[in-house]
Amino acid sequence: MDAFLIHGGKRLKGATQVSGSKNASLPLMAAALLADGPVVLHDVPHLSDIQNMARLLRELGCEVEHDENGTMRLEVVDEGNSHARYDVVRTMRASVCVLGPLLGKRGNVLFSMPGGCAIGDRPIDLHLRGMAGLGADVELEENGNIHTKAKRLRGSKMFLGGPFGSTVLGTINVMCAAALAEGTTVIEQAACEPEVADVADLLIKMGAHISGAGTPRMTIDGVKSLSGTEHRVIADRIEAGTLIMATAITNGDVKIENCPIDALAAAMDRLAAIGVSVDTVNGANPMRATVSVSSARRLEPVMVTTQPHPGFPTDLQAQLMALVTLADGNSIITEKIFPERFLHVAELSRMGAKLYRQGPTVMVSGVKRLIGAPVMASDLRASAGLVMAGLAAKGATKVNRVYHLDRGYEQLELKLQKLGADIERVSE
């Protein structure tokens, strides 16, 4: 297994670029199952999660080619197999996003129920409620498989909110299935994340009738068929936020291109309060802006609560926590989306951070410096937080099990090296 060896204390400087969004690419790829012709996606990042999704789609009869420039061509050639097997689903929870497209197009899906994962239970009840709302039969069968089938899906009005708010992939699944249903579907408390709007953009190019994507109320008028098309994936807002915070924790000065600043309002608000300045150099397209990041020597403490978009994203919580370990005072971070998503807390403590957790809330009492240590995390974003801490810490930090990072950050160590970080990939 690979690890990152980091010698901290180098200020990040120079210019870098944000890759295409992982969390948009995965459901965009799955949406290709709906099309009657080839779908071409540009800016699909090279990540292990993307490879896993490609493997699943190939099993489902879709040809997938991904070139080194990030262009991916997907074309369904055989609709014979609609079983998403446990072996694939258990390696990647986002496999769930084939559910809606398969049901919409083929009317029949056997989907292995995903188990819990490192960041929490992650049920799929809202996805299934949505499918049932469109008239599908949903049954749990042997071997943990859920059989979802419908002769004809019918549009309906549904509420998709749960105890933790809206669901991103649940909303996308219902939108995909409803795109080919008979009649009109209205989703109330739809997720407003930019990834939902990006998938809607693709479906609209394929011929779907969708309005309100990116707002809590979406309307989908079903059509008879969808065609192939071409689409560029939005930039990754979480990678952008991570690069901004990595710059800040090293008191660096970095220009970041292809930055979806428009999708980062809550993070920008908190970063401004901490004392990080993010200036837009070129904002002609605010989803692909160029920004310049620098930070004050003295970081201020903040209160942060994660929320569905446009609130502060759970996927930046670990990175923000790493940043405020060095703030001058006490910060309070509350996790409202995945209340158990704190795998980084014990590891950051090993590096000298002062963290006190009670349930979904962590008080971070800022320290003057972090000290390098061997650390490990079993979640993608927690690992990113640990890399950031390593960049700022005194001495050497070894972040073990970086296969978690490889799931969601394209060539992170190379991007950081180019910015002057002393980081290398080594064998554990």
Q: Is 194 in the site for ligand EPU (CB under 6 A)?
A: no
Cβ distance to ligand EPU smaller for residue 193 or 393:
193
Torsion angle, alpha carbons of 295, 300, 304, 308, to 10: -20
Cβ distance to ligand EPU smaller for residue 138 or 299:
138
162, two tokens: 């749960």
User: Rounded distance, CA 5 to CA 398, Å?
Assistant: 5
Least separation in angstroms between residue 185's CB and ligand EPU is 17
How many CA atoms lie within 13 Å of 192's alpha carbon, on the beta-carbon side?
A: 15
Choice from 16, 19, 23, 95 touching ligand EPU (CB under 6 A): 23
Q: Which stretch binds ligand EPU (CB under 6 A): 5-13, 80-88, 119-127, 370-378?
A: 119-127
Q: Which stretch binds ligand EPU (CB under 6 A): 102-110, 116-124, 292-300, 350-358?
A: 116-124
User: Rounded distance, CA 15 to CA 297, Å?
Assistant: 21
User: Rounded distance, CA 49 to CA 39, Å?
Assistant: 19
Q: At 186, is the secondary structure helix, strand, or coil?
A: strand
User: Rounded distance, CA 328 to CA 369, Å?
Assistant: 11
Task: Convert residues 305-334 into a mask of x (bound to ligand EPU by CB under 6 A) and - (unbound).
Answer: --------xxx-------------------
Cβ distance to ligand EPU smaller for residue 47 or 299:
47
Q: Which of residues 121-180 bind ligand EPU (CB under 6 A)?
A: 122-127, 162-164, 167-170
Cβ distance to ligand EPU smaller for residue 159 or 164:
164
Choice from 31, 32, 41, 94 touching ligand EPU (CB under 6 A): 94
Least separation in angstroms between residue 11's CB and ligand EPU is 27
Token pair 């807390």 is at which residue? 345
Q: At 318, is the secondary structure helix, strand, or coil?
A: helix
Q: Which of residues 387-416 bind ligand EPU (CB under 6 A)?
A: 408
Q: Which stretch binds ligand EPU (CB under 6 A): 120-128, 223-231, 242-250, 293-301?
A: 120-128
- Sheet harboring 13-17: ordered strands across? 13-17, 253-259, 289-295, 276-282
Q: Is 26 in the site for ligand EPU (CB under 6 A)?
A: yes
4, two tokens: 């990152």
Q: Which of residues 336-355 bind ligand EPU (CB under 6 A)?
A: 337-338
Report the phi/psi class of residue 132: left, alpha or beta, with left for phi > 0 and alpha for psi in -120 to 50. Answer: alpha
User: Rounded distance, CA 157 to CA 149, Å?
Assistant: 19
Helix (H) or strand (E) holding 204: helix 194-206
Helix (H) or strand (E) holding 357: strand 354-358
Decide if 117 is catalytic. yes
User: Rounded distance, CA 145 to CA 201, Å?
Assistant: 31
Helix (H) or strand (E) holding 197: helix 194-206
**Active-site residue identified among 62, 97, 117, 192:** 117
Closest CA to 27 of 99, 105, 108: 99
User: Rounded distance, CA 182 to CA 49, Å?
Assistant: 33
Cβ distance to ligand EPU smaller for residue 40 or 117:
117
Least separation in angstroms between residue 46's CB and ligand EPU is 16
Choice from 105, 231, 288, 381 touching ligand EPU (CB under 6 A): 381
Q: Is 362 in the site for ligand EPU (CB under 6 A)?
A: no
Cβ distance to ligand EPU smaller for residue 360 or 395:
360
Token pair 């795998």 is at which residue? 343
Total residues binding ligand EPU (CB under 6 A): 27
Least separation in angstroms between residue 112's CB and ligand EPU is 15
Cβ distance to ligand EPU smaller for residue 145 or 383:
383
Supply the residues annotated as catalytic: 117
The residue ranges that bind ligand EPU (CB under 6 A) are: 23, 26, 94, 120, 122-127, 162-164, 167-170, 191, 195, 313-315, 337-338, 380-381, 408
